[in-house]
Amino acid sequence: GENVEQHPSTLSVQEGDSAVIKCTYSDSASNYFPWYKQELGKRPQLIIDIRSNVGEKKDQRIAVTLNKTAKHFSLHITETQPEDSAVYFCAALNYGGSQGNLIFGKGTKLSVKP
């Protein structure tokens, strides 16, 4: 089955700097890769996603890149702000298959220092 590895487990940056979180997946059939942000005590919130027919996707300060050959994808946050501090999870899914459960990484705790 699918396995998702996420690094780093913790990341501390200064406000205004960029943050990069990386994930690798094992199942070449996975073709949908969402990223979630989870604040303390709250549900994971979908912040951006990418499908395997796209190499990069941007939404304001957030971007995701995908390298299908290497089976890895990354989340990039530019101009970080204190409100970006949270735990971020990557996940993988075989979109459109007969079964579809998200496999999550273990999370990255991002701290943005003012």
| Binding residues for other proteins (CB under 8 A) | 6, 32, 34, 42-46, 49, 51, 89, 91, 93-107
CA distances from residue 25 to 17, 41, 83, 102 in whole angstroms, order as listed: 27, 27, 28, 12
Is 13 or 102 the residue whose CB approaches other proteins more closely? 102
The 3-state DSSP class for residue 102 equals coil
Is 75 or 107 the residue whose CB approaches other proteins more closely? 107
Nearest distance from residue 48's CB to other proteins, in Å?
Answer: 12
The 3-state DSSP class for residue 83 equals helix
Give the angle subtended at the CA of 113 by the CAs of 109 and 114, to the nearest 5°: 150
Nearest distance from residue 21's CB to other proteins, in Å?
Answer: 13
Is 20 or 103 the residue whose CB approaches other proteins more closely? 103
List beta partners, residue 42: none
Nearest distance from residue 108's CB to other proteins, in Å?
Answer: 10
